[in-house]
Amino acid sequence: MLYLNKFLSEIKKNPQILKSNEVILTLGLSSTQIKELKKFALEKEFITQEKSGCFISEKGDAYLSSNPIISWKTKDFQLRPNINLEYLKEEKTPAILTKAIRNLARNLIENQELKPFSLEQALKNDLNKCQDLYSKIEFDILEGKRISLEKVYEKFKSLGITKSLISVMILQVILNNSEKLAIYEKFQFQLKFDQLMFERMIACPENFEIQKTEMNDIYILKDIAKIILNKKSNNILEITKGLYTIIKALDKYVMNTQNLSKNTIRLRNVIINAKDPISLFNRDIPNVYGVKTLEDADRKFLNDFKNSLYELKNCINELINELKKLILSNFDAKTKEELSARFNIIKDYIGEQELKVLYNNIIEINVSDDLWINRIATFINKSRVPKDWSDMDFADFKIKIKELALKIAIVETTIGSYDYPKSKNYNELLEKLKTLSKPEQLMFLREFSTK
């Protein structure tokens, strides 16, 4: 039976081991497997059970003599560590080990407490026995070039290391070098390494690449960090994550609009399409502002970069302000309160359903300006909120607000509730009309109304 020789060997050393809390840590086996081994050993009379513990029998001794424990480390596989957890040595990862690795990942990544005397605790204890293997894997990952995780697995599996043990070593390498390792999933830079990502790494290592990210100590990098992180730093990975956090927080409109300065559009595009942090900061971002590399950047570059980031972050505010101006100017109003008061006067004269809905949104003034504008703009553009608009939606809004304003102007003019400003052309035309005879005036009005 698998692991029977180890089971018998530990009982021979310590007959009370099965009563100990540390039995799982000592044997490197699950509690279920230990119970099965005990049952089998008793049936085969390899051990005897007494009140003080379990004792190996002559038959058990004979079994041990003919089935000695063989070291996992061999002449052909010198890199194999002297680990205690037996499941780590199996080529196919058992389900119980998968669970233990997940629990260990939660502990190491999220500081979730480990269950005492558990299989995951045994797994963590074994990490200290793998220093040579860890160093080899760390060396390959930190070499500098972007490396596929699949290649890491392939290399060390060929050296006799199991996938499960390689996975645990990779987890350690990533956590111990979190400030300088960039992780890519399907060629996309990832902001945050968490337990779910680690599980995806194990399941599909072909989707992941890792790269060491370190740059020369360029002074201006700290100034860039101050703009992005609001603190000075020369850690390129920390700065990149800060920049990506800003970009990911931008609304759909900001990510697609062309209503930005040329440099800001170019900056947005190079960040979205960036391949790695080093190239992004050392070449791509400086190129946006006509600078060859980061080492050539000056104070003007910093100022231009800062202005572009501000423009991106403030873009939605600018859109809302522009919408407010369009709403008030088309309705010839100075404030939402003034416009609301005028709409309340013509309430009983509004018959068209579209104008009734507009009325309901206009008179709701006991809210912030932003919410008032968003409600009106969302109604006008068929339930699409401004932050999700395209430039075409914005153009449509400009047309629709003019059409609605014209309809309201007809109502207000008809009942005489509001006197719209009159242009010079209007006054000149009115004076000419006054010179016409009464029949001519009526003919003019009839002709005009049929157009």
Query: Residues 337-394: pLDDT tens digits?
Result: 999 999 999 999 999 999 999 999 999 999 999 999 999 999 998 878 999 999 999 9
Which pLDDT band, with edges at 50, 70 and 90, does 64 fall under?
very high
Cα–Cα dist 339/344, whole Å: 9
When computed from its CA atoms, the radius of gyration of the chain, rounded to whole angstroms, is 37
Please state the rounded mean pLDDT for residues 220-238: 92
User: In percent, how much of the chain has pLDDT > 70?
Assistant: 99
Instruction: Count Cα neighbours of 384 within 13 Å in the Cβ-side half-sphere.
Output: 15
**Which of 242, 248, 310 lies closest to 281 in space, CA to CA?**
242
pTM over 0.85, yes/no = no
The Cα 378–Cα 415 span in angstroms is 29
Statement: 4-66 belongs to CATH 3.40.50.720: no
Task: Write the pLDDT tens digit of every residue in 375-386.
Answer: 999 999 887 899
**pLDDT higher than 80, residue 128:** yes
Q: What is the pLDDT of residue 371?
A: 96
Closest CA to 150 of 92, 202, 90: 202
Q: HSE on the CB side for 56, CA within 13 Å? A: 20
Q: Are 216 and 192 in contact (CB under 8 A)?
A: no
Both structure tokens of 110 = 């999220």
**What is the number of other CB atoms lying within 10 angstroms of the CB of residue 226?**
15
Query: pLDDT tens digits for 289-318?
Result: 999 999 999 999 999 999 999 999 999 999
For residue 238, the one-letter residue type is E
pLDDT at 66 over 60: yes
Hey, where are the domains in the chain?
4-66, 86-212, 219-313, 317-420, 422-451
Per-residue pLDDT tens over the stretch 280-293: 999 999 999 999 99
The tens digit of pLDDT for each residue in 3-49 reads: 999 999 999 999 999 999 999 999 999 999 999 999 999 999 999 99
182 touches 276 (CB < 8 A) = yes
CA dihedral 417, 420, 425, 426 (to 10 degrees): 10
Kindly indicate the confidence band of residue 72, based on its pLDDT and cuts at 50, 70 and 90: very high
- Count of beta carbons in the 10 Å neighbourhood of residue 243: 24
Q: What percent of the chain has pLDDT over 90?
A: 82
Kindly report, residue by residue over 143-159, the tens digit of the pLDDT. Answer: 878 899 999 999 999 99
* Across 243-253, average pLDDT: 95
